[in-house]
Amino acid sequence: MAAKYECSVCGYVYDPERGDPDGDIAPVIPFEKLPVDWVCPIYRASKDDFKKEG
């Protein structure tokens, strides 16, 4: 199971089991494989602002 990542700005959790339907990211795409320009769907924070959960 791929890891979840949390936005350190707003608390949004990227769950690879769900993907990001609003950002056209299909389920089962791990965080590491997201495009470099992907941003938090709530706060628009960059991937650098996310921390691995656990």
How confident is the model over 4-20, as a mean pLDDT?
Answer: 98
Contact 3, 24 (CB under 8 A): no
Give the pLDDT confidence score for residue 1 in this predicted structure.
Answer: 75
* Residue ranges of domains in the chain: 5-52
Whether pLDDT at 7 is above 80: yes
Rounded-to-integer distance, Cα 52 and Cα 28, Å: 16
- Helix (H, G, I), strand (E, B), or coil: what is residue 6? strand
Rounded-to-integer distance, Cα 26 and Cα 49, Å: 21
Contact 47, 6 (CB under 8 A): no
pTM of the predicted protein model: 0.92
Whether pLDDT at 15 is above 90: yes
Triad 12, 13, 14: Cα angle to 5°: 120
CATH of domain 5-52: 2.20.28.10
pLDDT classification of 38: cutoffs 50, 70, 90: very high
